[in-house]
């Protein structure tokens, strides 16, 4: 990496040899924005990158933008543009969707974005094109065994990860985990992106040893939000004669902010290891309407069949962008995107075949120590 006058000539990220990302003409703030998405995976590439992200002050377009939707996407000449970034922030990013996962692709971003839109989805597509399965999952290594925890979004993956990290497990990944097939020498491998863990206030109540690690500023913000939520709830009671409908709407909006995103190594005061492990056990997690935490064996192929549809759901935003791209350029197509479901089904069945698998059902919210106590004997 070289740097001059506040700009980096190049800055490389390497996702375990699966996908290489090179930033070109990025400011320090641009590099930091990508690092927030990918975690500390900075490493100089000794191979050609799969994704090149070039930063410019202003996109040079051959014609006026024609919009698709309300400022969500558009196209100008042969350029397809994504016009929204993280938290719906305005953006102007040129993405050649026909090339991603098929050949090295260059994305062009205007500087100063909070995040590169669709970046993780594009990395996942690159991984899939190389026979590596991106899983919506968490993973950890516990007493020498690698555990993949998966299920529908909000099913309890992060809670299970937190429960075992609190007992000394090594972090591998949260949110997205990459499953590499056996190569004849090693078995199936798991590796992850060390992105921040979203920790909710109730998690910190269950894990008080972690609360001090989030910093005084964030602790104060959480306390203030809880006070605001309680005040809104009281004000929303009809007998108080207040505009109850407004206050009832306000309460859940405040509660949605009762979290902090924190690096895993900071949360448990651990040094990140290799972020990789073998796949030895599978946990399929889901919440239920019973107060008990229950663990029972499950057929790993049932997990594979169910997770295929979870992965499809996770790709909906990306597919919406792809359909807009095809609307703009009907003759263009990306075979990796269009064959993704078929590839995912085959890789899921292959990766999970014959692995010991357990279904974990729990109430939500769940006692994190109780979660550990129920699952640990099976691992």
Contact criterion met (CB below 8 Å) for 234 and 240 = yes
The verdict on 107 and 162 lying in the same domain is: no
Largest CA distance in the chain: 71
Phi, psi of 79 (to 5 degrees): -100, 130
- Of all residues in the chain, the percent with pLDDT exceeding 90 is 77
pTM > 0.75: yes or no: yes
Residues 166 and 287 in one domain: yes
Q: What is the pLDDT of residue 238?
A: 57
- Residue 328 domain-assigned? no
Residue 232 has pLDDT above 90, yes or no: no
Question: Which of 128, 147, 164 is at the close of a domain?
Answer: 128
Strand, coil or helix: 133: strand
Mean pLDDT of the chain: 92
Residue 89: half-sphere exposure toward Cβ, Cα within 13 Å: 13
Confidence tier at 84 by pLDDT (50, 70, 90): very high
Q: Tokens at residue 161, please?
A: 């990860």
- Residue 241: is its pLDDT beyond 70? no
**Pair (309, 284) in one structural domain:** yes
Q: Which domain holds residue 230?
A: 211-261
- Contacting residues for 367 by C-beta, under 8 A, at least 6 apart: 206, 293
Number of structural domains, the chain? 3
Could you report the per-residue pLDDT of 85-97, keeping only the tens digit for each? 987 889 999 999 9
pLDDT for the residue numbered 243 = 58
Determine how many CB atoms are found less than 10 A away from the CB of residue 49: 21
**pLDDT band for position 5 (50/70/90)?**
low
Residues 294 and 346 in one domain: yes
- Per-residue pLDDT averaged across 183-196, rounded? 88
Is residue 13's pLDDT more than 90?
Answer: yes
Lowest mean pLDDT among 263-277, 331-345, 351-365: 263-277
356 with 308, same domain: the answer is yes
């Amino acid at each position: 990496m070289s740097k001059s006058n506040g700009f980096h000539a190049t800055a490389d990220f390497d996702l375990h040899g699966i996908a290489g990302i090179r930033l070109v003409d990025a400011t320090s703030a641009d590099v930091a924005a990508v690092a927030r998405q990918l975690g500390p995976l900075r490493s100089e590439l000794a191979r050609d990158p799969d994704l090149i992200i070039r930063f410019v002050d202003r996109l040079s377009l051959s014609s006026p933008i024609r919009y698709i939707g309300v400022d969500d996407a558009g196209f100008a000449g042969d350029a397809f543009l994504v016009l929204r970034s993280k938290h719906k922030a305005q953006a102007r990013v040129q993405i050649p969707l026909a090339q991603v996962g098929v050949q090295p692709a260059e994305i062009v971003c205007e500087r100063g974005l909070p995040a590169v839109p669709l970046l993780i989805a594009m990395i996942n597509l690159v991984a899939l094109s190389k026979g590596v399965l991106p899983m919506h999952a968490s993973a950890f290594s516990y007493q020498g065994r690698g555990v993949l925890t998966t299920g529908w979004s909000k099913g309890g993956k992060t809670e299970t990860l937190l429960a075992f990290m609190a007992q000394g497990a090594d972090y591998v990944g949260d949110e997205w985990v990459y499953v590499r097939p056996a190569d004849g020498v090693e078995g199936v491998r798991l590796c992850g992106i060390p992105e921040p863990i979203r920790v909710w206030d109730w998690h910190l109540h269950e894990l008080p040893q972690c609360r001090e690690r989030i910093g005084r500023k964030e602790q104060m913000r959480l306390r203030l939000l809880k006070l605001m939520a309680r005040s809104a709830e009281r004000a929303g009671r009809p007998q108080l004669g207040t505009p109850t409908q407004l206050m009832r709407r306000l309460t859940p909006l405040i509660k949605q902010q009762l979290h902090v995103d924190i690096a895993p190594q900071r949360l448990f005061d651990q040094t990140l290891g290799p972020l990789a492990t073998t796949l030895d056990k599978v946990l399929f997690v889901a919440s239920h309407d019973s107060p008990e935490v229950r663990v029972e064996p499950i057929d790993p192929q049932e997990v594979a069949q169910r997770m295929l549809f979870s992965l499809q759901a996770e790709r909906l935003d990306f597919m919406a962008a792809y359909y807009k791209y095809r609307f703009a350029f009907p003759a263009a197509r990306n075979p990796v995107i269009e064959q993704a479901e078929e590839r995912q089904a085959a890789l899921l069945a292959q990766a999970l075949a014959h692995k010991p698998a357990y279904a974990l059902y729990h109430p939500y919210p769940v006692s994190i120590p109780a979660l550990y106590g129920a699952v640990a004997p099976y691992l």
